[in-house]
Amino acid sequence: MSAYRRLWRTRIGRLTLVIGAVALALFALTGLVSAQVALPEAVTEQGDSIRTLFFVVLAIGVIVFVIVEAMILWVVFRYKRQSDDELPTQVAHNTTAEILWTGIPLVIVVVLFFVSLFVLQDIQAAADEDEEFTIVDVQGRQWAWAFNYGVPLGTELAESISNSPHDTEIHLEDPSLVVPFMTIKLGIEHMRVVARTGDVVTVDRAVNGTVPIRHAAGSAVMRVFNGTDTVAEGRLQAADNTPIVTVPTGQMIRFNIASADVLHAFYTPQFLTKLDAVPGRVQTLWVRITDAGDFISQCAEFCGRDHARMIYTVRALPQDEYDAWFEEKAGSAPEPVEGDFGGEEEVEQEEGAIGNPANGQNLFFSLGCNVCHGDQGEGLVGPTIAMTIVPLDRVIEQYREPLEAMTEFPPDQVSDEEIADIYAWLQSVPRPPEADIIPSKLAELVEAGG
C-alpha cells in the first residue's frame, strides 16, 4: 500500500491511480454486460454438443487462467528487491518441476483433443440411411443469399421456392426528380436473383417519386441509370427484406452451400457453427433444429463492399406449419427425401431449377448465337439477351417463329430442352461492365403485357 501512497504524492502518480480506478469501474461494467453478451443458446442438436464442448474448454481455461494469473501476481508482489546488494537464489532449473509443467499441459491437451474429435464426428454425421430429411440449397452471392427447397440431387422440380428477391421500393433522394420507369433485368423465375445491388438499370418511361423494383437483398446502393447518366440513387433498407430461409424443426436438414462469385460463409450464431461457401464447390452442413423461431444470420467471410449487409433469417417452423407453408408456396406438399446421399461426395452446383447452363453455353457458341448477340449475350447486331425478362416459353416461340431479323431454328435443329439450357446459361452470365443494353422488341412486348 505504501507504494501507492508514494505514487499519490506525484502528479503523474495521481493520474495513474485515477485512471486505474476508472478502469476497474469499466471492467465491472464489462462484467455486468457480459451477462447479456455470451455464447447464444443453441437451437440445434449439433450446436448443443458444440456448446457443451465450449464450456469444457472454458472451465479448463478459467482454471488455468486463475492459477497462472495468481502465480504472476504472487511473484510480482511478494518478491521485491529489499536492498541494493541483495542477491537471490541462483537456482537455474529443476528437472522435476520442468517435467511436471510440460507433462500436465500435455495430458490436458491430449484429453481435449480426443473430446473435441468425438464432438467433431458427432456434429458432422449425416442423416441415418432410412431417415427423412430436408435439403436446402444455399447460394451466396454478392451480396445476397438464394435458397432453393426440396430439390433432391439430379431431380428437376417444376418450381422451386426462394425468399431471396424481394419487392421493395427505391426511395429516391430527390422526390421531385422525374425518373423514367425502370426495367430491371430479372429472370422470369421468381427465385432467381439477377439484379445485383449497384447494377445499371435501364430506363424507359417517366414516373415520379418511388419506383417499385425487385432487388437482391441488403441495404446497398441501387443506381438508376438512363443510358448515359445516373439519374437517381437510393439505399435499400435491409430490415424489411432480409432473405428468409424457412426450415422444419425436428428433421435433419442438409444445407448444400455454394457460391456464385467469391467466398462467403453461412453463419447462424444460434447453430454455433459456420461453413464457407467456396466458389466451385458445394459443401454440406447437417443440422437438426430443435427450437422454432427466427434466427438472424449473416455472411461471415469477407466478400467485398457490402459484406456487412449480407444478412438473412433462418425461420424454423414446427413440421406441420412448415408443410402448410411449403404447400402454399409450391402448390404441393414437400417430397420427403430419404437415404444418405453421402456428405462427402462432390455435388454439381445447382443452377436454379431449369436447364443445364454448361450445355447451354456450348450450344450458344455451336449454333452461332454469339455472332449476333455477343459472346455473353450482351447484344451486338442482335438485342441483349443475357438476363432477359422474356419468359422461356416466349423465347422458344422466338426460336421457332422469329420476330425481327433472326434465323429460324426448327425443333430438329435445337430441342425445347436445349433452348432451356441456353436460356439457363444466359440467365447466369455476367454482363460486361461497359456494354450498352441493345433493346429487344420481344422484351418490350413482354413488358407491355403482350
Partner 1 sequence: MATLAGAQTSTYAGATVWRVILEWLTTVDHKKIGIMYLWTAGAFGLVGMAFSLVMRTELAETGTIISAETYNSIFTMHGSVMIFLFLLPIGAAFMNYSMPLQIGALDMAFPRINALSFWIFLFGGVLLTLSFAAEGGTASAGWTAYPPVTLDTGNNAEPPGAGMDMWLVGVILLGQASIFGSVNFLVTIFKMRAPGMTMWRLPLFTWTTLVTGLLILLSTPVLAAALVLGFIDRNGAGGAFFDPAAGGQPLLWQNLFWFYSHPAVYIMILPAMGIVSDVFGVFTRRPVFGYRSMVLALIAIGLLGFIVWAHHMFTTGGVFLPFFMGATFLIAVPTGVKMFNWITTMWRGSNIFPTAMLFSVGFLMLFLIGGITGVFHAAVPVDFALHDTYFVVGHFHYTMSIAATFGFLAGCYYWFPKMFGKFMNEGLGKLHFWLVFIGVNLIFFTQLLLGLDGMPRRINDYVDNPGWELMNMLTTIGAFVSAAGMMVFLYNVFYSLKWGERAGSDPWEGTTLEWATTSPPPAHNFDSLPEIRSERPLFDLRFGERLQDDPHYHVNNGHNGNGSGSGAKAPTASAREEG
Residues numbered 207 to 236 that lie near partner 1 (CB under 8 A) are none
Which CA distances in Å does 327 have to 137, 261, 322?
18, 32, 8
Which CA distances in Å does 418 have to 154, 243, 275, 377, 410?
17, 32, 35, 16, 12
265 to 284, contacts with partner 1 by CB under 8 A?
A: 265, 267, 269, 272-276, 278-281, 283
Is 303 among the residues that bind partner 1 (CB under 8 A)? yes
By C-beta, is 6 or 400 nearer to partner 1? 6
By C-beta, is 152 or 279 nearer to partner 1? 279
Separation between Cα atoms, residue 338 and residue 181, nearest integer Å? 48
Separation between Cα atoms, residue 130 and residue 97, nearest integer Å? 55
Task: Let me know the angle formed at the C-alpha of 427 by 426 and 429, rounded to the nearest 5 degrees.
Answer: 65
Is 439 among the residues that bind partner 1 (CB under 8 A)? no
The nearest distance, CB 200 to partner 1, in angstroms, is 12
Q: Is 312 helix (H, G, I), strand (E, B) or coil?
A: strand
Identified binder of partner 1 from the candidate list 4, 41, 59, 72, rule CB under 8 A: 72
The nearest distance, CB 36 to partner 1, in angstroms, is 4
The nearest distance, CB 403 to partner 1, in angstroms, is 30
What letter would DSSP give residue 44? B
Is 2 among the residues that bind partner 1 (CB under 8 A)? no
Is 447 among the residues that bind partner 1 (CB under 8 A)? no
By C-beta, is 198 or 439 nearer to partner 1? 198
Nearest to 221 by CA among 199, 249, 192, 203: 199
Is 438 among the residues that bind partner 1 (CB under 8 A)? no
Identified binder of partner 1 from the candidate list 6, 28, 29, 404, rule CB under 8 A: 29
346 to 405, contacts with partner 1 by CB under 8 A?
A: none
Q: Is 295 helix (H, G, I), strand (E, B) or coil?
A: strand
Is 194 among the residues that bind partner 1 (CB under 8 A)? no
Is 59 among the residues that bind partner 1 (CB under 8 A)? no
By C-beta, is 198 or 391 nearer to partner 1? 198
C-alpha cell at position 329: 408456396
Is 164 among the residues that bind partner 1 (CB under 8 A)? no
Identified binder of partner 1 from the candidate list 48, 60, 169, 396, rule CB under 8 A: 60
Is 206 among the residues that bind partner 1 (CB under 8 A)? no
232 to 261, contacts with partner 1 by CB under 8 A?
A: 260-261
Is 300 among the residues that bind partner 1 (CB under 8 A)? yes
Task: Let me know the angle formed at the C-alpha of 297 by 221 and 122, rounded to the nearest 5 degrees.
Answer: 150
Nearest to 179 by CA among 211, 207, 152: 207
Cell 438473412 belongs to which residue?
312
By C-beta, is 37 or 206 nearer to partner 1? 37
Cis omega (within 30 of 0) on the bond before 143?
A: yes
Which residues, other chains included, contact 80 with Cβ-Cβ below 8 Å and sequence gap of 6+? none
The nearest distance, CB 20 to partner 1, in angstroms, is 6
Which listed range, 246-254, 286-294, 300-308, 325-333, lies at the site for partner 1 (CB under 8 A)?
Answer: 300-308
Is 13 among the residues that bind partner 1 (CB under 8 A)? yes
By residue count, the chain amounts to 450
Interhelix angle 392-400/416-426, nearest 10 degrees: 120
Identified binder of partner 1 from the candidate list 126, 157, 263, 380, rule CB under 8 A: 263
Separation between Cα atoms, residue 146 and residue 159, nearest integer Å? 14
Say if residues 391 and 187 touch (Cβ distance below 8 Å).
no
